[in-house]
Structure 1
Amino acid sequence: MRTTVENVMTTDVAAVNQNASFHTVAELLISKAVSGVPVLDDDNRVVGVVSEADLLAKQEFKERYYGDGYRPPLRARLRHTVGSEGSGFYKALGETAGELMTAPAHTTTPDASVVLAARQMDKYGVKRLPVVDADGRLVGIVSRHDLIKVFLREDADIAAQVRETLHSDTLGVEVTVTDAVVTLSGTLVEHSQAVKAVRLTENIDGVVAVHDNLSWKNDDIVNYPVWGGA
């Protein structure tokens, strides 16, 4: 079974209403030691995300969060001088979370795979995703740190799932796992069985790599390169 976002997400989420004041947002970020929080409408639907980067447009937050001598990186300074909607120029005028936030928010759902969530984070360059139900209401949040948990499975747990997935007891595949690296050994009847066994193992959550030591008796894959066949 594939690990889903629901298996690793955090349900105790720090969030703010879209009408929350600048100071309320700043206090929450500081007290919770987080760099961003979802912004909700009155029906608990996610309408955006407000982060410390959004608040940095205001000098007051810079001084309180980083100290009087703080100067943001050059890239941030250049970005905040651009006079387009949603830029630091306009956000510096914002007084509520709804005016300060970045919208729309990139979200995921509880039943989404952790692989899909990771791809979304990479695509949009974000460190976390609000998790919403079918109505867009907040039910949790998943971070990059949460996704890493998938790769902390015990070797014995991974080995058991590989054996169950491959039906190794009947197929004759020997499975060993060390530090989440799976080694498959044994002789199968068909080449295609060996290819399928490796692919299925690679798709199991927590598997870092697969070492293919399988051989086969019959090459049933036409025009397919033979790797280590008997």
Structure 2
Amino acid sequence: MAKPPSKPGAGPRGTHVNVKTARSRSNASQRWLLRQLNDPYVKKAQAAGYRSRAAFKLIELDERFKLLKPGQRVVDLGAAPGGWSQVALRALGERGQVVALDLLPMDTLAGAKILQGDFQDDATEAAVLEALGGQADLVLSDMAPNTTGHGPTDHLRIMDLASLALDFAVKVLAPGGGFVAKVFQGGSEKAMLERLRRHFTEVRHAKPPASRKESSELYVVATGFRA
């Protein structure tokens, strides 16, 4: 018996998911849902037990820059839902310490010390150092503000957030430590680059493969902290 002709645009089973749209769902939310359903990194994250696809960004940055080492003390700023903290925990081993900090509540993560608060507060800074049991070897920040769609405005906003994260890192890092923060394409502003180079021996930019091609995000990776 002959098979009925396939519908136009149909592909092999399991390779692509189509979304039936509801009138109440916006075009933007439809695009986001479709992208999530068909994103290979989302599927890889689910298979590996990571809480977000962003975990692979840190994995790829670590493969390139050798950031995570057994026994380190790591602070994950803006940690929720916890993908980066999971990657750090797996790399650091039992002797490592991971403090996950976010303004929002975050589900318990075995091995991590989870704090809720604003990293700009002195009390939060003190709580992070107490939870670490000393100064940090690495400060991670995958934080990003809500975007407006206006490139120059969004760039300034994320640079301001990255600069605040750097302020925090300078206070808590041990000599030789590292700092990773998300920025947007256009590069780090001159003032921040000058600060980074003053505090670290090496400063580089990278766009990991897990970062979506259409995204303007980059990561600044600074190593060799000068206390």
Q: Structure 2 length normalisation: TM-score?
A: 0.23
Q: Structure 1 length normalisation: TM-score?
A: 0.22
